[in-house]
RNA sequence: GCCGGAGUGGCGGAAUGGCAGACGCGCUGGAUUCAAAAUCCAGUCCUGGCAACAGGGUGUGGGUUCAAGUCCCACCUCCGGUACCA
């Protein structure tokens, strides 16, 4: 008998589709278009993972469904084929990366075709095709030729960049430099994450916790010439336009967070004028050693800064800021007799600033900081600059030079690993310099610490330990005073215990809302690397750094803030920002966590940059760049035979043959750029090329672009929530600004498929003597060993499901219920040995079963464990479908089951059919594939029981099933006597009239509990329903003698009698 | 710490505020078979009861409502991401 045999049916239809180019999309859409895209895979040597077909099946169902509904569907597939693994394979075996890549692509293509996805294979592309990366390089040139006009909020051609007069006057070289400074693609010499093991530099996001994301190798920071893309210019648009797209809120939140926009103020702190030659600051560095104690390392006495005075008399100034004419009387830095000059300088400076606007770039006499809490300016007790800050040398006093040099050296050498994992305690060093707080003329010490990052804001901060956790920790560590300037809100109308009187006294934040506060015994004050600010032992600290303190970083009411006292945080911020601006010492500022995109890699297997470096007669680079002409693209990789890493950060292409590496153009010798582009480059725009993959004269035809864009549905893994999606949005916006594309966003709707875990596992734990211990006692020790309560090493034992049972909310050994075991599913991994290979599944169950199971497991976006018996279950369903149609008593050919006839369907049968059509249709539209399949199962269960099955019901069912199990459906469609593929058959329509039931069963509740059920006409009115309910024997019995206070009747739903 | 997501039978999971557990897996019983596989039929949340039926039940504790898995408040647990961004 012919049983359902996918091994025969599936290849047959795959061949048919390929031969007939069934799924080739039209060049231009006819009618309504639908562009459905999968995140294309990196074709690894391991082949497809069962995680891949999850999203691919979902999009395939949507596409097949849409075709049957008459839409023009674009559904392409390609390969993100540049990448490190092929290059590492080349290093090991000498096989050129292109060979490895092609082999892997062939395998991936075979696997995808084996699953019957309806891709338009005519549009297949790989990022490694010269015909493709020609245009990747072209887009790079476009970025290179674009500057961002912040006022117009868009990228414009470099030719339109206005050149300031002074630059113009300085000559052509200055103009070139000015232009280079404004390109979206630019070069910098920057510390990068060099990974010796991988032989490459990694982007920040490729370094996780100080080791490489791939492989987990250590990473160190070294300076290197790099290409950067100015994505930060687009930060606000990338954030704003998230409003336009239909994406999961979680992904949008991740992107917003990554962009990390914050609003605050930049404020200049006066530091005085540099003294020629020495690099210290005359104005504010404590001058004479006479007033200093030697800054001995490990000093245990609380190091005090000078001049922190109570703010009892916050100057008579009526404006918020002390006027330059009358500096705050308490602010004269009384600790050091010689500091008067700094204040008079400060006064001059302030006076000058009041007359001129806030300078665009800070001069050397100030330290510019960025803060989101300008309302805490009065609480600033020190400053911190990053070790890489350009002002470090300038601010360091001779006494501190060796300590500072030492600290900065170490910071520079520190890998990210050192900065994260090991940096449990704050470190820092005093520069010897002081800055003057513009709001109260206080002199505060300037420190260097690596908790301030050069890459954010201005690389310098004012530290407000009372209201910032990090500053608080640092201040605790180094004994720096802590001044409270924000009173936490009172809880429930009553001041919380511990708040100090905000009167003239001070300061120390006492307390308060446990949520926002962190207390810390002052006793933990390790003597850390530092040299302390000079001591002024005759001064009493206002806030003893030794007393237990608290840090409050929330919003509240201003105290100790002169004229601003009593303001709430928000109002204060607004007002002081305006006041600072008026005084010429500050301005409102916006900052982003987002950094410019490090765009070069030291790989061979990536897109070469279409850039030439001009060489002088001695072969040295002149610093002038020359971009290749678009007509000269693609620039292909050179033929190379040697891929071995030379272990230096320079790229492998440095070893390229000379004729590639050093071309001569127009008599000038050049050296090619030897960095290559990162893997993200190719995936940044592939969705555009799919629309016009063979175009030899443009990246994409504008007409086609306008017709097909945007991508209507984009499905892929959540791991791309930030990088890939942010990078492609960035490129897309540049292409939009430059008129290449017509939409501001590339992907209208985005869905992340969930992760597929391995099979559920039960795990028990045994001691060396084979006695069991409970899972609750087991943990991992510092070395990653699994140990028991007594530190003994235990063995992990995989248990069969039949030796465990559920007890309460945990699983225990059936043989010994006192022993709890772990039960969970783990991420698939080679090391755990729980990887499921699609080839195996297809061989055993067929592609349709695999597809169906992937969809039936649960909601698309959920994380779910694999289950082979589950696959077997859906295979059982497909077997039943087969037998519903095919007479399995005949061997030779597919003959319809004798139960199928042309009899007119009964109303019941029609109801089942139409309900199924309606529900399956709705479920596909909402991507609820698991429930769609359940509805089809119900259909099959119903019709299997019938001995006569009207063809009029079964034929539409085949069409419903087709998007899910296309091979089987085509086979059945053919057996039903159709000649052509069903791929373009009209999707069945349902008739609500056929679904409508004449009578329905409605529950009757008494005080909310179901007590009976009544059968009533489907369209029964409220009154009829209530009457029918009262008439019910059981209900009337229960209602007898009771007082009904309320009757709720919901037509078609229920009747509820509420008793007293 | 922070940001997401999720907690419902033995398992995967269903439920526009309106009969909790659709559908599937597994399990139990039956039919078929010499036997098995396959297939078909029936049952399967828990407790009590022969049964009809009664009571309980969606992570925990409160609340709103005639009615809560679903809405609100507080918390617990797990999974994923992220981390000195001033």
Task: Give per-residue pLDDT as tens, A881-890.
Answer: 999 999 877 7
Residues across chain A: 1060
Q: Are residues A808 and A955 in the same domain?
A: no
For residue A436, pLDDT over 80 is answered with: yes
For residue A893, pLDDT over 50 is answered with: yes
- Lowest-pLDDT range, A255-269, A407-421, A696-710, A816-830? A407-421
- When pLDDT is averaged across residues A207-223 and rounded to a whole number, the result is 71
Instruction: Specify the pLDDT at position A645.
Output: 66
ipTM value, please give it: 0.95
Q: Are residues A902 and A1035 in the same domain?
A: no
For residue A341, pLDDT over 90 is answered with: no
* CATH code of the domain in which A1049 resides: 3.10.20.590
Q: In whole angstroms, what is the distance from residue A449 CA to residue A456 CA? A: 14
- When pLDDT is averaged across residues A742-749 and rounded to a whole number, the result is 96
Instruction: Specify the pLDDT at position A549.
Output: 57
Instruction: Specify the pLDDT at position A100.
Output: 95
- With both helix axes pointing from N to C terminus, report the angle between A249-259 and A723-737 in degrees, rounded to the nearest 10: 80
Instruction: Specify the pLDDT at position A778.
Output: 81
Contact A701, A692 (CB under 8 A): yes
Instruction: Specify the pLDDT at position A231.
Output: 94
pLDDT band at A142 (very low <50, low <70, confident <90, very high): very high
Instruction: Specify the pLDDT at position A419.
Output: 56
Q: Are residues A552 and A432 in the same domain?
A: yes
Instruction: Specify the pLDDT at position A332.
Output: 38
Q: Please check whether residue A910 lies inside any domain of the structure.
A: yes
C1' (B62) to CA (A1059) span, angstroms: 25
Contact A171, A213 (CB under 8 A): no
| C1' of nucleotide B86: residue with nearest CA | A371
Q: Considering A540, A570, A591, which residue would you say is the last residue of a domain?
A: A591
Q: In whole angstroms, what is the distance from residue A97 CA to residue A89 CA? A: 7
Q: Cβ atoms within 10 A of the Cβ of A660, count?
A: 16
Q: Are residues A892 and A1022 in the same domain?
A: no
Q: Which of A674, A636, A640, A673 is nearest to A657 (CA)?
A: A640
* CATH code of the domain in which A448 resides: 3.90.740.10
For residue A331, pLDDT over 50 is answered with: no
Residue predicted with more confidence, A894 or A692: A692
Helix or strand (DSSP H, E) at A180: helix A172-182
Q: In whole angstroms, what is the distance from residue A833 CA to residue A828 CA? A: 8
Q: Are residues A817 and A884 in the same domain?
A: no
C1' (B44) to CA (A1029) span, angstroms: 32
The three-state secondary structure class of A848 is helix
pLDDT band at A520 (very low <50, low <70, confident <90, very high): very low
Nucleotide nearest to A418 (CA to C1'): B84
Residue predicted with more confidence, A344 or A12: A12
Nucleotide nearest to A863 (CA to C1'): B79
| C1' of nucleotide B4: residue with nearest CA | A250
- Lowest-pLDDT range, A484-493, A567-576, A591-600? A484-493
Instruction: Specify the pLDDT at position A823.
Output: 87
C1' (B75) to CA (A270) span, angstroms: 50
Instruction: Specify the pLDDT at position A494.
Output: 34
C1' (B82) to CA (A258) span, angstroms: 10
Instruction: Specify the pLDDT at position A204.
Output: 61
Instruction: Specify the pLDDT at position A776.
Output: 78
- When pLDDT is averaged across residues A997-1006 and rounded to a whole number, the result is 87
Residue predicted with more confidence, A1060 or A693: A693
Instruction: Specify the pLDDT at position A668.
Output: 92
| C1' of nucleotide B84: residue with nearest CA | A451
Nucleotide nearest to A856 (CA to C1'): B24
- When pLDDT is averaged across residues A750-778 and rounded to a whole number, the result is 88
C1' (B8) to CA (A54) span, angstroms: 25
A1015 burial type by CB count under 10 A (0-12 exposed, 13-18 middle, 19+ buried): exposed
C1' (B80) to CA (A559) span, angstroms: 42
Q: Are residues A802 and A853 in the same domain?
A: no
For residue A154, pLDDT over 50 is answered with: yes
Q: List the domain range (segments joined by +) for residue A908.
A: 839-966
For residue A445, pLDDT over 80 is answered with: yes
* CATH code of the domain in which A944 resides: 1.10.730.10
Q: Are residues A348 and A483 in the same domain?
A: yes
Total of domains in chain A:
4
C1' (B43) to CA (A878) span, angstroms: 24
Q: Are residues A330 and A396 in the same domain?
A: yes
pLDDT band at A278 (very low <50, low <70, confident <90, very high): very low
Q: Please check whether residue A769 lies inside any domain of the structure.
A: yes
- When pLDDT is averaged across residues A901-925 and rounded to a whole number, the result is 94
- When pLDDT is averaged across residues A595-605 and rounded to a whole number, the result is 89
Q: Considering A591, A614, A634, which residue would you say is the last residue of a domain?
A: A591
- With both helix axes pointing from N to C terminus, report the angle between A847-856 and A966-975 in degrees, rounded to the nearest 10: 120
Nucleotide nearest to A859 (CA to C1'): B13
Instruction: Specify the pLDDT at position A784.
Output: 65
Q: What is the average pLDDT score of chain A? A: 83
Instruction: Specify the pLDDT at position A413.
Output: 67
C1' (B69) to CA (A912) span, angstroms: 28
C1' (B42) to CA (A6) span, angstroms: 31
Q: In whole angstroms, what is the distance from residue A698 CA to residue A685 CA? A: 13
Nucleotide nearest to A1013 (CA to C1'): B19
Instruction: Specify the pLDDT at position A312.
Output: 29
For residue A330, pLDDT over 80 is answered with: no
C1' (B29) to CA (A941) span, angstroms: 21
Residue A793, beta-bridge partner list: A787
Q: Please check whether residue A89 lies inside any domain of the structure.
A: no
The three-state secondary structure class of A824 is strand
Nucleotide nearest to A874 (CA to C1'): B24
- When pLDDT is averaged across residues A829-845 and rounded to a whole number, the result is 91
Contact A281, A326 (CB under 8 A): no
Q: In whole angstroms, what is the distance from residue A227 CA to residue A609 CA? A: 10
Long-range contacts of residues A796-804, Cβ cutoff 8 Å, at least 24 apart: A796/A763, A796/A764, A796/A765, A797/A763, A797/A764, A797/A765, A797/A766, A798/A761, A798/A762, A798/A763, A799/A762, A799/A763, A799/A764, A800/A762, A801/A760, A801/A762, A803/A762, A804/A762
Q: In whole angstroms, what is the distance from residue A710 CA to residue A283 CA? A: 60
pLDDT band at A1046 (very low <50, low <70, confident <90, very high): confident
A125 burial type by CB count under 10 A (0-12 exposed, 13-18 middle, 19+ buried): buried
Cα dist. A1054→A217, A678, A995, A1047, A1049 in Å? Answer: 64, 62, 20, 11, 6
Q: Are residues A351 and A461 in the same domain?
A: yes
Kindly give, in sequence order, each residue whose CB lies less than 8 Å from that of residue A232, ignoring residues fewer than 6 positions away. Answer: A592, A594, A595, A596
Q: Please check whether residue A202 lies inside any domain of the structure.
A: no
User: What letter does residue A275 receive in the DSSP assignment?
Assistant: P
Residue predicted with more confidence, A218 or A493: A218
User: CB-side exposure of A713: number of CA atoms within 13 Å?
Assistant: 22
What's the count of helices (H) and strands (E) in chain A, helices before strands? 30, 44
Q: Which of A590, A572, A482, A653 is nearest to A150 (CA)?
A: A590
Q: Are residues A911 and A812 in the same domain?
A: no
The protein footprint on chain B, as nucleotides within 7 A of a CB, is 3-6, 10-16, 18-20, 22-26, 38-41, 54-55, 66-68, 79-86
Q: Which of A945, A758, A928, A933 is nearest to A851 (CA)?
A: A933
For residue A212, pLDDT over 60 is answered with: yes
For residue A435, pLDDT over 90 is answered with: yes
Q: Please check whether residue A856 lies inside any domain of the structure.
A: yes
| C1' of nucleotide B78: residue with nearest CA | A824
- When pLDDT is averaged across residues A388-401 and rounded to a whole number, the result is 91
Q: In whole angstroms, what is the distance from residue A432 CA to residue A404 CA? A: 9
Instruction: Specify the pLDDT at position A1014.
Output: 87
- Lowest-pLDDT range, A105-114, A154-163, A538-547, A995-1004? A538-547
Q: Considering A563, A591, A619, which residue would you say is the last residue of a domain?
A: A591
Q: Please check whether residue A867 lies inside any domain of the structure.
A: yes
Beta strands in A164-296 (DSSP E): 185-195, 200-202, 207-208, 211-212, 220-229, 262-270
Q: Are residues A864 and A783 in the same domain?
A: no
A436 burial type by CB count under 10 A (0-12 exposed, 13-18 middle, 19+ buried): buried
| C1' of nucleotide B66: residue with nearest CA | A1058
Q: Please check whether residue A932 lies inside any domain of the structure.
A: yes
A951 burial type by CB count under 10 A (0-12 exposed, 13-18 middle, 19+ buried): middle
Residue A434, beta-bridge partner list: A445
User: Before A634, cis peptide (omega within 30)?
Assistant: yes
- When pLDDT is averaged across residues A727-738 and rounded to a whole number, the result is 97
Instruction: Specify the pLDDT at position A266.
Output: 94
For residue A1050, pLDDT over 70 is answered with: yes
Nucleotide nearest to A824 (CA to C1'): B78
C1' (B56) to CA (A33) span, angstroms: 54
Q: Are residues A412 and A533 in the same domain?
A: yes
Instruction: Specify the pLDDT at position A846.
Output: 96
Q: In whole angstroms, what is the distance from residue A1000 CA to residue A911 CA? A: 14
The region that residue A461 occupies, defined by phi over 0 for left and psi between -120 and 50 for alpha, beta otherwise, is beta
pLDDT band at A228 (very low <50, low <70, confident <90, very high): very high
- When pLDDT is averaged across residues A581-609 and rounded to a whole number, the result is 91
Q: Please check whether residue A180 lies inside any domain of the structure.
A: no
């Amino acid at each position: 008998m012919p049983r359902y045999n996918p091994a025969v049916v599936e290849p047959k239809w795959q061949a048919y589709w390929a031969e007939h180019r069934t799924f080739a999309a039209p060049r231009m859409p006819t009618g309504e278009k639908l562009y459905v895209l999968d995140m294309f895979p990196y074709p690894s040597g391991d082949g497809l993972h069962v995680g891949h077909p999850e999203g691919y099946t979902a999009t395939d169902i949507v596409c097949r469904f849409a075709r049957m509904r008459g839409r023009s569907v674009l559904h392409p597939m390609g390969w993100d084929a540049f990448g490190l693994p092929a290059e590492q394979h080349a290093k090991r075996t000498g096989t050129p990366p292109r060979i490895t890549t092609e082999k892997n692509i062939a395998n991936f293509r075979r696997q995808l075709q084996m699953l019957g996805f309806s891709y338009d294979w005519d549009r297949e592309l790989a990022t490694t095709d010269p015909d493709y990366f020609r245009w990747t390089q072209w887009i790079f040139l476009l970025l290179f030729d674009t500057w961002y006009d912040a006022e117009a909020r868009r990228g414009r051609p470099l030719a339109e960049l206005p050149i300031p007069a002074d630059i113009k006057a300085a000559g052509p070289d200055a103009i070139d430099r000015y232009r280079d400074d404004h390109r979206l693609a630019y070069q910098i010499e920057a510390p990068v994450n060099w990974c010796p093991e991988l032989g490459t530099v990694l982007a920040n996001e490729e370094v996780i916790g100080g080791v490489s994301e791939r492989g987990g190798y250590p990473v160190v920071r070294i300076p290197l010439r790099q290409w950067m893309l100015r994505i930060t210019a687009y930060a606000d648009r990338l954030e704003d336009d998230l409003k336009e797209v239909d994406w999961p809120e979680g992904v949008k939140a991740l992107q917003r967070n990554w962009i990390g926009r914050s609003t605050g103020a930049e404020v200049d702190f006066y530091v005085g004028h540099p003294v020629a030659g020495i690099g210290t600051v005359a104005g504010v560095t404590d001058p004479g050693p006479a007033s200093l104690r030697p800054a001995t390392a490990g000093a245990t006495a609380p190091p005090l800064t000078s001049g922190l005075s109570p703010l009892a008399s916050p100057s008579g100034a009526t404006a918020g800021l002390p006027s330059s004419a009358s500096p705050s009387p308490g602010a004269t830095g009384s600790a050091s007799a010689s500091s008067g000059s700094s204040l008079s300088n400060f006064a001059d400076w302030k006076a000058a600033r009041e007359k001129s606007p806030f300078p665009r770039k800070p001069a050397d006499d100030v330290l510019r900081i960025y803060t989101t809490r300008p309302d805490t300016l009065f609480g600033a007790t020190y400053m911190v600059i990053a070790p890489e800050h350009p002002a470090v040398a300038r601010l360091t006093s001779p006494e501190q030079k060796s300590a500072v040099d030492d600290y900065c050296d170490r910071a520079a050498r520190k890998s990210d690993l050192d900065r994260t994992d090991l940096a449990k305690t704050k470190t820092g060093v005093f520069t010897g310099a002081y800055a003057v707080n513009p709001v109260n003329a206080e002199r505060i010490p300037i420190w260097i610490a690596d908790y301030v990052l050069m890459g954010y804001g201005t690389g310098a901060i004012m530290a407000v330990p009372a209201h910032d956790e990090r500053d608080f920790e640092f201040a605790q560590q180094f004994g720096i005073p802590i001044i409270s300037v924000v009173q936490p809100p009172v809880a429930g109308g009553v001041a919380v215990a511990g708040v100090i009187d905000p009167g003239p006294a001070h300061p120390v934040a006492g307390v308060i809302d446990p949520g926002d506060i962190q207390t810390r015994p002052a006793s933990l004050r390790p003597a850390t690397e530092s040299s302390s600010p000079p001591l002024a032992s005759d001064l009493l600290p206002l806030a003893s750094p030794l007393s237990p303190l608290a840090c409050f970083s929330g919003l509240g009411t201003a105290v100790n803030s002169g004229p601003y006292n009593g303001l709430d945080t928000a109002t204060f911020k607004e007002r002081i920002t305006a006041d600072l601006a008026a005084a010429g010492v500050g301005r409102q500022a916006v900052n982003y966590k987002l950094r410019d995109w490090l765009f070069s890699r030291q790989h061979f297997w990536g897109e070469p940059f279409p850039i030439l470096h001009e060489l002088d007669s001695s072969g040295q680079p002149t610093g002038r760049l020359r971009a290749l002409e678009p007509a000269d693209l693609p620039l292909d990789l050179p033929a190379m035979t040697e891929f071995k890493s030379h272990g230096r950060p320079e790229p492998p292409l440095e070893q390229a043959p000379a004729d590639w590496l050093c071309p001569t153009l127009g008599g000038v010798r050049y050296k090619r750029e030897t960095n290559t582009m990162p893997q993200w480059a190719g995936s940044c725009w592939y969705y555009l090329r799919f629309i016009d993959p063979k175009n030899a004269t443009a990246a994409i035809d504008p007409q086609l672009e306008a017709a097909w864009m945007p991508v209507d549905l984009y499905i892929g893994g959540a791991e791309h929530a930030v990088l890939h999606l942010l990078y492609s949005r960035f490129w897309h916006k540049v292409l939009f600004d430059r008129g290449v594309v017509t939409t501001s966003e590339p992907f209208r709707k985005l869905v992340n498929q969930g992760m597929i875990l391995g099979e559920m596992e039960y795990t028990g734990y045994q001691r060396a003597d084979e006695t069991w211990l409970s899972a609750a006692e087991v943990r991992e020790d510092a070395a990653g060993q699994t140990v028991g309560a007594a530190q003994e090493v235990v063995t992990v034992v995989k248990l069969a499901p039949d030796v465990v049972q559920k007890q309460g909310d945990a699983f225990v050994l059936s043989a010994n219920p006192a022993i709890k075991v772990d039960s969970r599913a783990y991420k698939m991994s080679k090391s755990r040995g729980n990887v499921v290979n699609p080839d195996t599944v297809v061989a055993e169950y067929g592609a349709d079963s695999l597809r169906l199971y992937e969809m039936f497991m649960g909601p698309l976006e959920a994380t779910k464990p694999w289950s082979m018996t589950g696959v077997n279950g859906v295979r059982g369903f497909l077997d039943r479908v087969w037998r519903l149609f095919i007479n399995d008593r005949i061997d030779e050919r597919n003959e319809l089951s004798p139960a199928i006839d042309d009899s007119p369907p009964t109303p019941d049968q029609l109801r089942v059919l139409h309900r199924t059509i309606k529900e399956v249709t709705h479920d596909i539209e909402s991507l609820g594939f698991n429930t769609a399949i359940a509805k089809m199962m119900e259909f099959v269960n119903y019709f299997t029981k019938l001995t006569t099955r009207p063809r009029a019901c079964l034929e539409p069912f085949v069409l419903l099933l087709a998007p899910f199990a296309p091979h089987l459906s085509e086979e059945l469609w053919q057996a039903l006597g159709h000649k052509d593929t069903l791929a373009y058959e009209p999707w069945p329509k349902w008739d609500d009239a056929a679904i409508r039931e004449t009578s329905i069963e409605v529950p009757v509740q008494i005080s909310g509990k179901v007590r009976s059920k009544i059968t009533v006409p489907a369209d029964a009115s409220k009154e009829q329903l209530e009457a029918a309910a009262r008439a019910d024997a059981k209900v009337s019995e229960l209602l007898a003698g009771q007082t009904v206070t309320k009757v709720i009747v919901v037509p078609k739903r229920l009747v509820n009698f509420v008793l007293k």
